[in-house]
Structure 1
Amino acid sequence: MCTLVARIVRLRPTFIVTFFVVSGFYDRVKGEIARDFLRGEEHMLSRIRRVEGVHDTSSAEDAFETAYRNIIDDKSLTCANTGTTFDPHPVRPTVAILDMFVVRAFEIVKTLSSNTVKVYTWYPAATKSFHYYFAEDLVPACEAEAASRGMSFNDVAYERFSNFTGRVVRTPCAPTMHDWEYNPQATRSPREFIGNILIKVGGQMKRTDGFITFDAAEYCPTATESLRSWFAETGRKCYYAGPLVPQQKEEPLGDPRSYQIKTFLDQELASHGEKSVIYISFGSMFWPTEPEKLWAVFDVLMERHIPFILSTSAVFAKTPPPEVQEKVAQYGDAMITDWVPQQYLLDHPATGWYLSHGGHNSTLETILAGVPNIVWPVYADQPVNAIHLSEDLDVAYELFEVRCGTGLGQILRNGKTPTGTVEAVKAEMHNVLDHAFGDDGARKRVNLQAVRKKLQAAWAEDGIARREVEAFLDDL
């Protein structure tokens, strides 16, 4: 979204954007926006009304309501992070772009502005996952079931998203799957998050004025056309703005950890050669339910003398136990860190493969960097992304034995039933690495370059993402 904001003011220099974010992200958002402006374009930053902050995420939507009321009542705004006060702007908002999970903010804008402000929902995921999660408004059915069973609404909603029975699921842009295949790590979201937010997104999708995503239209054309058709049935549009990666490369400056990572990558490049390092990360939130399987992967990598970096920056990350840390330290050609400059790391010539959860932001970044994936899907859009990358595009490998809980049920598309033992994980990882560092991996890398070329063109002068964002701005 930071990159989208930068491109909006570049494409429409008369537009003013007010960006609201919690204070913990203030500096990162400010830096990420700035990275999309080249030298000589810095003056455009004045079209972005900095970043409005609030210190406590639990009160974020209360703070948003206060800020939004001030905007529409022609009152000044004060940034909680910097203390900067912004005078009222002479033009009131025309449109609000709201992340799909800020459902209360959606209601705030709809209630306070009625039809005078268009509300577009921002979808920060692979659109292949849309139909399974959000094409239906589940709230009425959950309310009725809660009443008939004498249960709380949140308990019923939790059951809907957490109980997997092997139900066969058919959607327009993913293979036919058992429901447990959408949750291969038996991950359970917090009950309050499901009942207060997740279950309500489908209803929001029915009411939103439009839809904009950082997904790339040509990543999965079947999903793109399916989603366009779904919104067109009610006279609405969806816009594909991705991939959205800043124009300026990420440089490992200003953070001591960056220098350490740069030094490590340079050393591995000198000792092991290009494309030798495996980068391991599960994004900003997710983590394997059974981390002992990840430590088993470490054993395989060390046995094969493959260098690797593990990022433990995820919210639910588990620090390796002391004995694992000691083993890694003695190995020498590995690094465990709580933060990485990911785009810099992916662009480094030493980086060869990315063992990831298959989250879509990282997926698009790795495609643009030309780094193929070994996918360990956890939840959300990751299972369908793993299938698309490994089977439809043939640019990645999917791990199956890392599954656990109900995720160990049969995989409908290939008939396999993983055992999920640590020994099975090791055997599968050996097999994947044999292929990844052999002719098959080289073939997938060539396939990836073809996908990369398509997505790189999305923001060219007549690229599809640029046309989509232009059309979005024209429609305002």
Structure 2
Amino acid sequence: MTITTSKHVVASCILGWGHARPMITLAARLVQLDPDVRVTVLVNTAHFDRLVKESTRSFGEADAQAAQRLRIVCVGQANNTLGDGLIGPFWKTLLAGEGPVCAHTGIQHSAWPKPNAVVLDIFVIEDTKTVRSISGSSVKVYSWWPGETYTLLHLFGDKKIGGRGNIHQMIEEEVNRSGRSYNEVAMEMINMPRGEVVELPGHPPMYDWEHSPQDFHVPDDVTLSVFPFVNASQATVDGVISISFESWEPEAFKLARQWLGETGRPVYIAGPLLPTASKATAAANEKSQSTEGAAIQQLLDDTLARSGPQSLLYISFGSMFWPVGSPEKVWAFLDVVMEKDIPFIMSHASPMAVVPDEVKTKVQAYGKGILSPWAPQQTILDHPATGWYVGHGGQNGLTEAIAAGVPMIMWPFNADQPSNTVLATDVHKIGYELLEVRTGHGLKKIYRTGYTPVGTVEAVRAEARRVLTQAFGEDGKEKRARLPAIREALLGEWKEDGRSRRDVLAFLESL
């Protein structure tokens, strides 16, 4: 079959599954919505095979032609923590209208028209510079916002809208004033809270230290080479595409449009970005990505038969995060889960996760739990046996939980997780937050309640008993009862008159 489409969108993101999975889903949406568009997704080796499988979760039998207009091309092994800085040679090839060679398969792809637009992760500073230096203003560059909007505005927005502004400039000013090294000042300025109260429209106030309630080391190369430059990098893009959804944080999007609108730049909302294939196809393809897929399905079915609907607890901190400074709190929480005879599935996908042998032995003897290095999350959440989801509150997990109608028990670390947690617990009132699991700066006073967490293992156990009792009791039923309206609003974003559908169509029309 010969493809004669003329619109060509290129997309690339960092080495984070929470960034990559929705990007491949958006790519599928683009080729499904517009028969005149094709999409090239540039990925690192680590994500290539998984994203190829993930892409199939958005195509049914009727989408064969659309699927041919989406290709995933590997740019090679990541050369740093984020996988930034590899796009150059591939971008030159694509701009020349030539077919790129996949670094993973060795296959040379067909020549497609020159790109009309490129969507680049907010954190790929070098790739954004490279694209601009090579193509100037001839190709529109859109920033991929892979998380909750409030947090991105707070961390990387201009000061006039309540953001931190140009951190690189602030660091240089302090270096010139004090004579200290750039790296020393940067690490302090980015990592050390000042006790300031963060206030943005529509969001409960929080102390700045509450935005990092867990000790979780961000690699120094990210801290030094990325965070100081995001604000300035955002000033160079032509617009934004967000994975969040309007009904979750309307005031944040209003503020984002105000900020970018001052320079005539659009903010396109694309969430929720969930697979569009049939439930059966999406689930089968997702389970194939997990070594424990069959066992997990069996436990879900057995739990439903034995304990009934909404009786299982799903636990996951995503593909990166893990309480490395206090793993004993995870096992203490899990002890309480088993003490209360709650069936569970725990995913420990983070490369930093280490499960002690005694924990494995205990879970095996328990007989109602599974420890899996990678779990088919959407399949688990969609199963009627699943009652609650213990997660860090990242945008993807939160979106998937709401779409499945599963309330959350939140254990946030940093990034958009603490802010999403407050929205879930205090604004939308559909979940609980675990406070005693906090470490480091997180063990300071909480602004909205005045409570200071104790943070001991015994305090974790006591809180786990209380929260799990509430979650599987009457209080939990009240929280669950609020979910259908929020779920309906979320899914409505992609209906014919939904905000996200309208925004993505507007993006396609602009090409």
How far the C-alpha of 1:432 sits from its partner, in A, is 0.9
Q: Is the deviation greater in 59-68 or in 299-308? A: 59-68
Counterpart pick for 1:293 among 303, 308, 329? 329
Gap change, CA 1:276 and 1:57, over 3 Å in 2: farther
In the alignment, is the contact (CA less than 8 A) between 2:84 and 2:125 conserved in 1?
A: no
State the match for 1:76 in structure 2.
99
- Note the 1:236-315 alignment, pairs <5 A: 236-248=265-277, 249-251=282-284, 252-253=287-288, 256-288=291-323, 289-315=325-351
SS for the counterpart of 2:62 is: coil
Please tell me whether residue 410 in structure 1 is matched to residue 457 in structure 2. no
How far the C-alpha of 1:404 sits from its partner, in A, is 1.1
SS for the counterpart of 1:242 is: coil
State the match for 2:190 in structure 1.
161
Counterpart pick for 2:72 among 42, 45, 50? 50
Letter in 2 for 1:335: I
Gap change, CA 1:253 and 1:380, over 3 Å in 2: closer
How far the C-alpha of 1:14 sits from its partner, in A, is 1.2
> TM-score w.r.t. structure 1 length?
0.96
- Note the 1:124-203 alignment, pairs <5 A: 124-135=146-157, 136-203=165-232
Q: Is the deviation greater in 49-58 or in 129-138? A: 49-58
Question: 2:95 and 2:507 mapped to 1: Cα distance?
Answer: 22
In the alignment, is the contact (CA less than 8 A) between 1:22 and 1:57 conserved in 2?
A: no
In the alignment, is the contact (CA less than 8 A) between 2:75 and 2:90 conserved in 1?
A: no
SS for the counterpart of 2:390 is: strand
Letter in 1 for 2:261: A
How far the C-alpha of 1:57 sits from its partner, in A, is 4.1
Gap change, CA 1:232 and 1:50, over 3 Å in 2: same
Measured against aligned partners, the alpha-carbon deviations of 1:275-303 in whole angstroms (never above 9, x if no partner) come to 11101100111112311111111111111
- Runs in 1 of length 4+ with deviation above 6 angstroms? none
Letter in 1 for 2:34: R
Question: 1:62 and 1:74 mapped to 2: Cα distance?
Answer: 21
Letter in 2 for 1:296: A
Question: 2:420 and 2:290 mapped to 1: Cα distance?
Answer: 32
Letter in 1 for 2:99: S
Q: Is the deviation greater in 353-362 or in 266-275? A: 266-275
Gaps of 5+ in 1: none
State the match for 1:88 in structure 2.
111
Measured against aligned partners, the alpha-carbon deviations of 1:184-210 in whole angstroms (never above 9, x if no partner) come to 012231221111012211111222110
Letter in 2 for 1:96: V
Gap change, CA 1:272 and 1:473, over 3 Å in 2: same
- Note the 1:1-16 alignment, pairs <5 A: 1-16=23-38
Gap change, CA 1:419 and 1:79, over 3 Å in 2: same
How far the C-alpha of 1:50 sits from its partner, in A, is 3.5
Measured against aligned partners, the alpha-carbon deviations of 1:26-71 in whole angstroms (never above 9, x if no partner) come to 1221222221122221121221233233134449545310111112
Gap change, CA 1:404 and 1:56, over 3 Å in 2: closer
SS for the counterpart of 1:63 is: coil
Question: 1:167 and 1:339 mapped to 2: Cα distance?
Answer: 38
SS for the counterpart of 1:390 is: helix
How far the C-alpha of 1:382 sits from its partner, in A, is 0.5
Gap change, CA 1:146 and 1:191, over 3 Å in 2: farther
In the alignment, is the contact (CA less than 8 A) between 2:424 and 2:430 conserved in 1?
A: yes
SS for the counterpart of 2:353 is: coil
In the alignment, is the contact (CA less than 8 A) between 1:358 and 1:382 conserved in 2?
A: yes
Give RMSD over aligned pairs.
1.6
How far the C-alpha of 1:108 sits from its partner, in A, is 0.6
Question: 2:349 and 2:321 mapped to 1: Cα distance?
Answer: 10
Measured against aligned partners, the alpha-carbon deviations of 1:396-433 in whole angstroms (never above 9, x if no partner) come to 11111111111100001111111111111111111111
Question: 1:250 and 1:184 mapped to 2: Cα distance?
Answer: 34
Q: Is the deviation greater in 118-127 or in 196-205? A: 196-205
Q: Is the deviation greater in 103-112 or in 328-337? A: 328-337
Question: 1:395 and 1:62 mapped to 2: Cα distance?
Answer: 40
State the match for 2:137 in structure 1.
115
SS for the counterpart of 1:403 is: coil
SS for the counterpart of 1:203 is: helix
Q: Is the deviation greater in 387-396 or in 136-145? A: 136-145
Q: What is the identity percentage for the equivalent residue pairs of Structure 1 and Structure 2?
A: 41
- Note the 1:333-372 alignment, pairs <5 A: 333-372=368-407
Gaps of 5+ in 2: 1-22, 158-164
Q: Is the deviation greater in 378-387 or in 224-233? A: 224-233
Letter in 2 for 1:306: I
In the alignment, is the contact (CA less than 8 A) between 2:257 and 2:267 conserved in 1?
A: yes
Give the aligned length: 474
Measured against aligned partners, the alpha-carbon deviations of 1:215-270 in whole angstroms (never above 9, x if no partner) come to 11111111121211111122211111000000123223475410011111112222
> TM-score w.r.t. structure 2 length?
0.89
State the match for 1:213 in structure 2.
242
Letter in 2 for 1:181: E
Question: 2:453 and 2:290 mapped to 1: Cα distance?
Answer: 42
Gap change, CA 1:60 and 1:286, over 3 Å in 2: closer
Letter in 2 for 1:86: H
Please tell me whether residue 23 in structure 1 is matched to residue 45 in structure 2. yes
SS for the counterpart of 2:106 is: coil
SS for the counterpart of 1:16 is: strand
Q: Is the deviation greater in 31-40 or in 53-62? A: 53-62
Letter in 2 for 1:237: P
In the alignment, is the contact (CA less than 8 A) between 1:216 and 1:465 conserved in 2?
A: yes
State the match for 1:432 in structure 2.
467
SS for the counterpart of 2:490 is: helix
SS for the counterpart of 1:309 is: strand
